[in-house]
Amino acid sequence: MQQIIRCNDITNDLAQLLNKLRYNALFILTDRNTCDLCLPRLESILEIGDAKRMAIPSGEENKNLQTLSTVWEFLSRNGATRKSLMINLGGGMTTDLGGFAAATFKRGIRFVNVPTTLLGAVDAAVGGKTGINFSGLKNEIGAFYPATAVLIDSQFFSTLDAENLLSGYAEMLKHALLNGINQVNDILSFDFDNIDSDRLNGLLFDSILIKENIVRRDPKERGLRKALNFGHTFGHAFESLSHELRRPVPHGYAVAYGLVCELYLSHVRLGFDSAVLSPVTRFIKENYGTFPIDCGQYNHFIELMRRDKKNDTADVNFTLLKAPGEVMINQKASTGEIEETLDYFREV
């Protein structure tokens, strides 16, 4: 299992980690934004001065085979071997793609993730999933390949705008729903108009521990880990459709919309309490807005869900909840129920 390091001083903590790890060459992968904004914080580390560096284009649209190929070429051109080490410094796009590059180069080299966004810290950097988008589908190509370590320094998040904070917070809400009503109430009570950084940091690490507990028990997603797909069957379809329409929404926003839909489907199929559904829906609508979808797009939307990698048959596979903390994996729904759910999403 990967080591999660809660940093008090990122330069000291990363330097200590690098001194403990044995490697013959160090590589640093950033995107162009984190190269300018975040990498300077690490420049005082002696080992960083000798590292080979690469900055890839920023943005989810660049998490693709072409960018992956340039990372492979960078590693090969600079003499990386199976004894090398790579640091992925950036948001979820960078840690997903960088992790997959490491997993596949020379059949696997070690890497360290340093997430610089809240979403990256709570989602992509932790848990051992790596991958790229392919053929219009989210994370269609990938591998289970955990980082050697993940270093989380909340100071990186202090400069994030509201959209990026909310994008990560949606995954934290998902983890709370998987865990229990007390965590849900804690998440819903956070005031984004008066951000308490210490409280946000505490909620973040509570959320990471929820995910790590699930991943530790089922690292390859053969059963329990499918709980983490909650909100993502609808969510990935919203995300894919938004890119097709050239009105892309952030991943966390798509997940938030997916949570509304899959909580409603949980209410229809499993009797999930409307007294919990309503405040969660209200919180998401007030903070994330909505996604404009009309009934003429329903058939294509459902087809996008059918193409999701989580399905192993022609049916659409869902993770649903009987109640907060009561997870039901491998659930199915009829076309009529999915359309009813989309109607609910449009109308609330």
∠ CA 266-199-6 to the nearest 5 degrees? 95
Q: Write the pLDDT tens digit of every residue in 192-207.
A: 988 888 899 899 999 9
Secondary structure (DSSP) of 26-66: EEEEEEHHHHHHTGGGGTTSHHHHT-EEEEEPPSGGG-SHH
3 state DSSP class of 339: helix
pLDDT in the model for residue 198? 87
Q: Is 246 exposed, middle or buried (0-12, 13-18, 19+ CB in 10 A)?
A: exposed
Q: How far is CA 1 from CA 4, 43, 147, 213, in A?
A: 9, 28, 8, 11
pLDDT at 2 over 90: no
pLDDT at 348 over 70: yes
In the chain, where does DSSP find H-type helix? 10-20, 32-37, 46-49, 65-77, 92-104, 118-119, 162-179, 181-188, 197-217, 232-244, 251-270, 274-288, 298-306, 335-347
Q: Write the pLDDT tens digit of every residue in 143-177.
A: 999 999 999 998 898 888 999 999 999 999 999 99
Q: Write the pLDDT tens digit of every residue in 223-281.
A: 999 999 999 999 999 999 999 999 999 999 999 999 999 999 999 999 999 999 999 99
Q: Say which residue the tokens 């080979």 belong to.
A: 52
pLDDT in the model for residue 312? 67
Q: Write the pLDDT tens digit of every residue in 269-327.
A: 999 999 999 999 999 999 999 999 999 999 999 999 998 777 766 679 999 999 999 99
pLDDT in the model for residue 313? 66
pLDDT in the model for residue 102? 98
| Number of residues assigned to the chain | 348
Whole-number mean pLDDT of the chain? 94
Q: Say which residue the tokens 């560096």 belong to.
A: 53
Q: Write the pLDDT tens digit of every residue in 55-105.
A: 999 998 999 999 999 999 999 999 999 999 999 999 999 999 999 999 999
CA 242 to chain centre: 17
**CATH numbers and ranges of domains, the chain:** 3-159 (3.40.50.1970), 162-347 (1.20.1090.10)
Buried b (16+ CB within 10 A) or exposed e, 159-196: ebeeebbbbbbbbbbbbbbbbeeebbeebeebeeeeee
